[in-house]
Amino acid sequence: MVIGIAFLAVLAFIGWLIARAIKAKSIKAHSISYGIAVVAGVFTYGYLLSLDFPQLIKVVASIIVGIILIIFGALYQRRKAAR
């Protein structure tokens, strides 16, 4: 069900882009990035809902570990650049 909604969201997003292009209105980069992020979030939500509970815990834990590693990498890079 959620995947079907995500597919319709992708079609709506593409239709919105085409409508903007036909009307010759400018499309800002952040609008496209935001739309792609929303559609990717809906697909991710649908995927996570389709998992069984132990596998869901593993996926969420790996996402949290990835976030922590990205934060540590950014802090290390900022400290190294400050020197």
What is the value of pTM for the model shown?
Answer: 0.53
How many CB atoms within 10 Å of residue 31?
Answer: 13
Local confidence band at 74 (pLDDT 50, 70, 90 cut-offs): very high
How many CB atoms within 10 Å of residue 29?
Answer: 7
Tens of pLDDT along 13-60? Answer: 888 888 888 888 777 888 788 888 888 887 787 777 788 888 888 888
**37 touches 74 (CB < 8 A):** no
Kindly write down the DSSP assignment for every residue of 36-73, as one continuous string: HHHHHHHHHHHHHHTS-HHHHHHHHHHHHHHHHHHHHH
Q: Which two tokens stand for residue 22?
A: 């036909």
